[in-house]
Amino acid sequence: MIKTILTNPNPVLRKTSQAVSNFEEKKVQETIQDLKETLRASKEGLGLAAPQIGVNLRIFALDVDDALSIFINPKITHFSSKTKLYDEGCLSVPGVWGKVKRSVKVVMKYYDEKGKKHKIKAKGLIAQAFQHEIDHLDGILFIDKMENI
């Protein structure tokens, strides 16, 4: 189902999300479907995390180059010391864009929607998006980190 995207301020966006323990659980599979449908419907959206649709589970979706992927229990295992100020926005903070300091490269472990384990390296926009979406799972919004320049 297409869900309403929660906007700041909403306490659900500030909670620490729980790790998925059972991938077969109905709530988990429903959330995955809802993230896909809601992100596709948003058109301008690049990423969407479960708390943004009212579910405090550690799941997010990314839609890059017309490929929508699901990331479950993501954990960044390496942040490059090289950082950059990236332009960033968020569907939960509509109309606001600003600069956020992010690592240029990351290594991230996660599970896909079938429960298969992955470890991937990312740089640039994808690395930025991973960091932004994992922040959502920890109750952090990009405006908390935005620099005044």
Interface ranges with ligand QAP (CB under 6 A): 44-47, 88-91, 94-96, 125, 128-129, 132
Q: Which is nearer to ligand QAP, 94 or 115 (CB)?
A: 94
Look at residue 88 and give the partner it binds from Co ion, ligand QAP, none, a contact being a CB closer than 5 to 8 Å depending on partner kind. ligand QAP
Within 13 Å of residue 109, how many CA atoms lie on the same side as its CB? Answer: 4
CB 121 within 8 A of CB 107: yes
Residues 55-114 that bind Co ion (CB under 5 A): 90
Q: For residues 57 and 17, what is the distance between their CA atoms, to the nearest angstrom?
A: 5
Look at residue 11 and give the partner it binds from ligand QAP, Co ion, none, a contact being a CB closer than 5 to 8 Å depending on partner kind. none
Look at residue 129 and give the partner it binds from ligand QAP, Co ion, none, a contact being a CB closer than 5 to 8 Å depending on partner kind. ligand QAP
- Cα dihedral sign, 41-45-47-52: negative
Q: Which is nearer to Co ion, 13 or 72 (CB)?
A: 13
Catalytic positions are 133
